[in-house]
Amino acid sequence: MCRFLVYKGSNPILLSDLILNPTHSILTQSYDSRLRLDRRRPHNGDGFGVGYYTSPELSDEPCIFTSTTPAWNCVNLARLAKKTISSLVFAHVRATTTGALSESNCHPFAYGSLMFMHNGHLADFNRIKRKLVSSIRDEYFLMIQGSTDSEWAFALYLDTLESLGVDPMNPPTKNGFGHTLLRQAMLGTIERLNKFWAEAGTDEPSLLNFAATDGHSVICTRYVSSQTDEAASLYFSSGTRFHEYKEGGFYRMERHDRGQDLVMVASEPLTFERGDWVTVPTNSILSINKQTVLIHPIIDQYYQANPSYTRSTAFAESKGMVGQGPETELGRAAAAAAAAAAVTTATAAASTASASTNIINSTPPTPSSVVSELERLAIIQTQIQIQVGEPLFSLM
């Protein structure tokens, strides 16, 4: 499986400070992935890609650099990263599951102003491929250049976006499609994939950690098509400054107030600072609108309404991944608040599943313990807002 990284900030960042220099940068993850258990193929060395947006005066489309050379051994990547800045960056290192080793199979993929990448796999892809191909419009069938299941998932996403009444090649406003529309298209894509698997009689779960952007808003999913298995790992971090505080690649996220100037989403944390990273709940969708983070539960047949249920990590581990990484103070607080929201909703309306399903704590906390956790979050000046039934929580 692969690793990916998203950066979105109000100010541009030098690519080397994001993908090269941190102690556990995505380049380091290409040969030293701490949340991969696959000892047969322990490296993410089947190519890489970096996509970023430049000045709108040049183009609304992203600039993408891909190579089949392992990221740790590509001198051109180092040269590019030291001289390039951007306020929205996608980075991906690949460990192939479907598709040959070629630049056309390296993520991220692009169509117009849209960019897309994937960590995971589409189960029984050969059994659902014909149905998938038959269901999409000609322009998205013809845009495919490689042979990965991920690129076909992107084609399905574009087709779903057009079904919502917009042209994926022409954003409706100067600020793109908007996070709501991008999120609806992602949810529709997952729904269509689940329908294909149901028709094919597929029992194996699929790991669908997707990331998509139009250059303005970002959508990420942490999803597994199972009600009992854990998804592949995914984290986010937000603050006012990401910088090297000690020589040797020791970076951390600083928070000077309750606002945020930048947000990062990653398969693995880039730093070892425990307070920097929050676990994205299983089967949820994360949206970044400007620098505000919203997390919604994905409520479908694989939604787990019981907040105290612990999903099994065995499947994710069988694919060489860790489903649950180390907890952080912020992650535990988010889990506690989300679990409390789930309990509140279940009590008010047992027939509707509209609350959270973050599975970190096995016992739902009392309201007082949630307040205690949120008070401790104030120390690091990050605000969590619980909205039952709408976003799981938001950081503003």
Rounded to 10°, the helix 125-135/179-200 angle is 130
CA dist., res. 349 & res. 60, Å (int): 45
2 is catalytic: yes
Catalytic residue among 2, 74, 106, 220: 2
* Cis peptide bond upstream of 307, omega within 30: no
CB atoms within 10 A of CB 199: 11
CA dist., res. 364 & res. 356, Å (int): 12
C-alpha triplet 307, 312, 318: angle, nearest 5°: 150
CA dist., res. 354 & res. 357, Å (int): 9
> What are 196's two structure tokens?
């294909």
Please provide the size of the chain in residues.
396
CA dist., res. 185 & res. 181, Å (int): 6
Residue with tokens 């009992």: 228
Coil vs helix vs strand at 173? strand
Query: Which of 30, 3, 21, 207 shows the shortest CA–CA distance to 107?
Result: 3
Catalytic residues: 2
